[in-house]
Amino acid sequence: MTTSSNKTVTTVAHTNIALIKYWGKQDSELIIPYTSSLSLTLDQFYTQTSVQFNANLSEDRITIDDHVVTGTGSKRVHDFLELVRQESGLNLSAEVNSTNHVPTAAGLASSASAFAALAAAASKAAGMNLSLTDLSRLARRGSGSACRSIFGGFVEWQKGFDDASSFAVPIETRHLNDIRIVALTVEKHQKPVSSRKGMAFSVKTSPYYPTWIKVVDADLANIKAAIKDNDFTRFGTISELNAMRMHALTLSADPDFLYFTGDTLVAMNEVKRLRHSGIECYYTIDAGPNIKIICQQANVKVITYTFSTLFGPTKVTVAKPGPGVKYL
Ligand code: ADP
Ligand code: DP6
Ligand code: CO
């Protein structure tokens, strides 16, 4: 079926930071993870994407941050559009314009906001009217972490066991709402090992991977209890531990690899020093050198001041819990 559709749909999706990490796929084609994960959607970092299916185009035309991307650079987006065409029955090429208000591929989850925004824009432009759950399932096919960016606030990606059962759900709570994430962008350049390759390599070569699966189950149950009990100390402690346990899977891979740089270690030590001096804060780190400091509103000022002095004020961004995907 080829229906004509030339409506341009524009969406905005925010990144999310995982507190309990997703690191490994059982099914790489469908992106079904080995473990469930839990994140917080952030108000500061986001992607805006417009999609139009157009009968006048002979192939997909993809622009990211004002650059036309082709070849390997556009393959992930092109494959995703193929999926949308398959599911919608619409048989037209698309024009995609996307802008990241987040550093790309630097461990600040650009793939999460990017594919959440693309899933919402492309499915709507193709005439589909998906529920948020189905949108989460679709976004997952672009990038696993993207399924969580469909929703705002705290979100759990329930791993499921097949395409139908693997999606994110929001955690309805008023607790921990003064939580803040102070993001340090010490490095804006693309990381050498993508999340996709890094996790596949950890699954394949780290002898600790089976233990990770068990540990995440416990960490997830504990952090959900901490949210329920409004227990920031427990929440932060589990987040920091879980991040380090994920990075242990890169150190124990064969050959080993590491996302941290010298600045990452300096920042980690500073967080611990502040904590021991009575300023309660914790860190988490994704697949890149940039660390995110988990704290409460009351301590934002002193933490911002400390890290601005160390790395420069332009490297420090304070984020609050952010919203789910939106149509403009
Ligand atoms: P990150 O830590 O930024 O999520 P990943 O390695 O997971 O890093 O993903 C980065 C990849 O996501 C990019 O190489 C690109 O393929 C894709 N991506 C990032 N931003 C966009 C965008 N706005 N539109 C389409 N794809 C994007
Ligand atoms: C460390 O979602 O970027 O940020 O599914 O291959 O696209 P793909 O990977 P991606 O991996 C995210 C890894 C992480 C942890 C997390 O966000 O849960
Ligand atoms: Co990513």
Q: What angle do CA 136, 227, 308 make, to 5 degrees?
A: 85
Atom of ligand 1 nearest to the CA of 109: 4
pLDDT given at position 72: 84
Residue with CA at minimum distance from ligand 1 atom 26: 114
Residue with CA at minimum distance from ligand 1 atom 16: 76
Final residue belonging to a domain, choices 109, 143, 174: 174
pLDDT given at position 281: 98
Q: Are residues 165 and 185 in the same domain?
A: no
- Note the ligand closest to the C-alpha atom of 191: 1
pLDDT given at position 2: 46
Query: What is the pTM assigned to this prediction?
Result: 0.96
Q: Are residues 183 and 166 in the same domain?
A: no
Could you tell me which of 113, 118, 50 has the C-alpha nearest to residue 82? Answer: 118
R_g of the chain, CA atoms, integer Å:
19
pLDDT, block means (10 residues), the chain with 328 residues:
71 98 98 98 96 96 95 93 98 97 74 97 97 98 98 98 98 96 88 93 98 98 98 98 98 97 97 98 96 98 98 94 98
- Greatest distance between any 2 Cα atoms in the chain: 65
Final residue belonging to a domain, choices 124, 157, 174: 174
Q: Are residues 111 and 21 in the same domain?
A: yes
> Pocket of ligand 1, candidates 104, 197, 286: which has the most ligand atoms within 8 Å of its Cβ, to mutate?
104
17 within ligand 2 shell (Cβ under 6 A): no
Query: Residue 105 — left, alpha, or beta (φ > 0 → left; ψ -120 to 50 → alpha)?
Result: left
- Note the ligand closest to the C-alpha atom of 142: 2
Final residue belonging to a domain, choices 144, 174, 204: 174
Neighbours of 97 (CB within 10 A): 18
What CA–CA distance (Å, rounded) separates 129 from 117? Answer: 15
CATH code assigned at 53: 3.30.230.10
Query: Residue 275 — left, alpha, or beta (φ > 0 → left; ψ -120 to 50 → alpha)?
Result: alpha
50 within ligand 1 shell (Cβ under 6 A): no
38 within ligand 2 shell (Cβ under 6 A): no
CATH code assigned at 298: 3.30.70.890
pLDDT given at position 6: 77
pLDDT given at position 1: 45
Residue with CA at minimum distance from ligand 1 atom 2: 107
Give domain status of residue 255, yes or no.
yes
pLDDT given at position 230: 98
Could you tell me which of 274, 325, 327, 328 has the C-alpha nearest to residue 15? Answer: 325
Structural domain harbouring 301 = 179-319
Q: How many domains does the chain have?
A: 2
Q: Are residues 142 and 194 in the same domain?
A: no
Give domain status of residue 191, yes or no.
yes
ipTM higher than threshold 0.90: yes
Instruction: Report whether 49 contacts 118 (CB < 8 A).
Output: yes
Q: Are residues 159 and 228 in the same domain?
A: no
- Output the CA 83–ligand 1 centroid distance in Å: 18
108 within ligand 1 shell (Cβ under 6 A): yes
Give domain status of residue 131, yes or no.
yes
